[in-house]
Structure formats: structure tokens, C-alpha cells
Amino acid sequence: MAIELRVPSLGESITEVFIGEWRKQEGAQAASGENLVEIESDKATVELAAPQAGVVTKILKKKGETAAVGEVIGYMEAGTAAAATPKTEAPAGDAKPAAPSHVTVPDETPIAASSKNGPAAEARVMPAAAREMAQRGLQPSDVAATGPGGRILKEDVVRQGSAPAKAPAAVATVAPPPAPAKSHPVPSVGLNVGGTRQEEAVPMSPIRRRIAQRLVEAQHSAALLTTFNEVDMSSVMALRSEHKDQFAQKHGAKLGFMSFFVKATIDALKMVPQVNAEIRGNDIVYHNYYDIGIAVSGGKGLVVPVLRNAERMSFAEVEQTIEHYGKLARDNKLTLDQLTGGTFTISNGGVFGSLLSTPIVNPPQSGILGLHAIQERPVAKDGQVVIRPMMYMAFTYDHRIIDGREAVTFLRRIKETIENPSRILLEI
């Protein structure tokens, strides 16, 4: 009897999902509980497990397609692969069975499947990725695709950069990207340029659409304003340098700057409770707990996992949790519960080299703290010009609930705490 594979319910507000990578192709054996396919919602990526041991007999929704919650996306048959698909067995005289060759090489499945559709299927290799593959001597089959619809992105090729380079002959076999939907001839007059300029439309993933929706919502529904300050990181850097080895040895996690800023932020939130509040209808709701969201860059876009009751966490627990969330984000394994809620958000653009920015509030929160790159700059100290490691901080807030005085007080409190981190321990 056929077993239906249906899209599970992922939350009240989620009605449509995006089909990701199929871990098991048609004809493949799956054990009970083994992951069959990735399913992306606008909030998180989950995996659909096999309800019982059997064989995947039919895939109705391919990678890159959308499906409704509750919709059947494939079928299984209980039993073994030999029993469910006897026609795939090779003749006795054939020394090379055909069936396993397309099941046991999942990395090549998207490329092989796309080749059936002719040259148009090569659009799965983005132009920037094709150039990067040519430079590195890679072929499409060498790269694991993570883009929408099975497309190979430039980041996928860079990630594969540790693989050994191939012979120059292999580079010549890399097919160029296909003719795109739109092509604009480049005038030759006055330009030493040939060929055409290419465009390709790539569907937005559900999580990217959700990110866009919430950012626009924040701009339209809140009165956003940003205030700035700078902080001398000398004391925190000295403290971190002194204890980072012992900290890592005892707790199994690196002592970073984020735990200092989480603690300093909680201290400032207690001083200015409006920043930890939200507007709900005509009411201002004050939270007596501190769920701090930490913005991290994941495989599918920016996500904000939440440190629940961060005020009760030690430095080690903050660092361990952030490190754990970062790994889950890279593997697209964050759950809905880990991403929902939050009373305040910290975004660290400094890890990418950002010097200054104006972060956007994550509604319904009322504020977000933006951290930036640390640079040595000349500053005045006690009448002398000295060189100090300085960081710009940006605090974007909803002016409907937070006035300028509270915003400046909040950011200055963080500055004072970071420049004198002993305040965290003494609670002064």
C-alpha cells in the first residue's frame, strides 16, 4: 500500500512551503525516521522523515517547487528496494548494475536530472558561479548547490575551494551559462567590450520573502530613528586576551565580545525599560524578562535565534548558545521555537567589516543594537591624543515608545559598561 508523504503543519501562519533537497531519490531505500526531504518555510527549514521503512517510489514535488501545507509531495512503499522496484535489477550477464549508479551519488542528481531538459537546465549554474568554477578548475558535479531551485551560487563554489584543483583540460569542459531570458546587446562604439549582458530571474525562497516582508513592515509601521556612539574596546580586549585560553579550556567555547555586549545590553535594558517593551494596540507592554535575539547569517539568509532568559545566563552559557545557534544556522537546522519571540536584538555587522550602519528594528520589538568593526583610531584621553581600538555602535529605536533622552541614555550605559566591564560583576 502506498504511503503518502505530506507537508506537515509548521505553524498557524504558514500555508505554503518551498521544497528543498531530496535526501532520497526515487527507488532509494529509507529507514524509519530517516530524513527524506528538506522543507523550507518563511521562518525555518525542517526535514520530513520517513514514517516507516520502505522505498521512495514517486516524487511529486521537485526541488525548488512550492507546496501547500498538507499537500502530498511523494509516495513510499513499505518493503525493500528489490521488492518495490524489481524492474531496476540488471541482467545476470551485466557486470555493471544500472540502478545504484543514480541513487548512490546524490551530489550529481540535480545535474543529471536537469540534463534531461536540454540546455535550458544549465541555468542552474549562476554566471558568477560559472566564472568561479572556471578559475578553480571545478565542474558543476563537484559543487553542492544550495540556491533556490537547485542553482549553484558563487558561495557554493567558494565553499568547495578546499577541494584539489583539476587539470586544465577539465576547465575547458565547464559549459558556459545558457542564454538568459533577457539579453541586451552591448554597443561596440567607444567600448572594448563584446558579447551580451545577462540577466536571470531566481525565485525568492520563503525565508527571504519573509525577511523582506518584515523589514518593509518595520519601515512602514514604526517611527524609526537611529542614534550613534563609539566605545573604547581596550578594557574588554585586555580582559578577553588574559582569560580566553582558560575560558576555552574550561567551557569548551571561545570567549568572544558578544557575551560582554549581551550582558551590557541587559544592564542597560533594566535601566531603560521602554527599550525592552513593545506597542500592542493602544497599550505599551513591558517585559520583565530579557529574550535577546542574536542576528546571524545562515545558509538561507539572515536569521535571529533567541537567547531565552539571557539575564540568567553566564558568560559561558551565552557563548556556548551563540556558537550552537551559529552552527544550526549554517546547516539550516534552526527550529521555529528558536527563531520566534525576542524582546531585543543585537546585530554584529563588524564580523563582515562594516564600519557604520543603521540596523532595522525587528517588529514588534522597539529597538536593535548594531555593532561594527573595531578599528584603531586616534582619540583624546586626559588631554592627550592616543591610539585606541574603537567601535561605532548604532541604536535604532521606535520613536513612538522611546524618546531621544532614553535612547541616548541606553546607548551611553552600554558604552560605560563595556569600557569598564567590572560594572557587570559589581552590578553598578
Q: What pTM was estimated for this model as a whole? A: 0.61
Residue 266: its pLDDT value, please?
Answer: 96
Kindly state the average pLDDT of the residues 213-225.
84
Q: The domain spanning residue 89 has which CATH number?
A: 2.40.50.100
Looking at the fold, whether 149 and 45 belong to one and the same domain comes out as no
Residue 178: its pLDDT value, please?
Answer: 53
Could you tell me which residue, 147 or 359, shows the higher pLDDT? Answer: 359
82 is a domain residue: yes
Single out the catalytic residue among 184, 243, 324, 399.
399
Looking at the fold, whether 319 and 286 belong to one and the same domain comes out as yes
Alpha carbon separation from 427 to 40, 266, 364 (Å, rounded): 43, 11, 29
Query: Which are the contacts of 426, defined by CB distance < 8 A and separation ≥ 6?
Result: none
Q: Which residue among 69, 104, 139 closes a domain?
A: 104
Could you tell me which residue, 130 or 287, shows the higher pLDDT? Answer: 287
Confidence of residue 116 (pLDDT cuts 50, 70, 90): very low
Domain of residue 174, residue span: 121-182
Q: Count structural domains, the chain.
A: 3
Looking at the fold, whether 57 and 132 belong to one and the same domain comes out as no
Q: Write the pLDDT tens digit of every residue in 25-46.
A: 888 888 888 888 888 876 677 8
Query: Is 399 among the catalytic positions?
Result: yes
Kindly state the average pLDDT of the residues 293-319.
89
Residue 112: its pLDDT value, please?
Answer: 41
Cα(59)–Cα(37) distance, integer angstroms:
10
* pLDDT of 86 strictly over 60: no
Residue 161: its pLDDT value, please?
Answer: 67
Q: Closest Cα partner for 261 from 233, 288, 242, 241? A: 233
Confidence of residue 120 (pLDDT cuts 50, 70, 90): very low
Q: Which residue among 104, 134, 152 closes a domain?
A: 104
Query: Is 403 among the catalytic positions?
Result: yes
Place of cell 536584538: 345
35 burial via Cβ count (<10 Å: 0-12, 13-18, 19+): middle
111 is a domain residue: no
97 is a domain residue: yes
The amino acid at residue 2 is A
Looking at the fold, whether 31 and 142 belong to one and the same domain comes out as no
The amino acid at residue 255 is L
Residue 114: its pLDDT value, please?
Answer: 39
Confidence of residue 177 (pLDDT cuts 50, 70, 90): low
Looking at the fold, whether 330 and 388 belong to one and the same domain comes out as yes
Q: The domain spanning residue 243 has which CATH number?
A: 3.30.559.10
Q: Write the pLDDT tens digit of every residue in 324-379.
A: 998 988 887 888 788 888 999 999 998 889 999 999 998 899 999 999 999 999 99
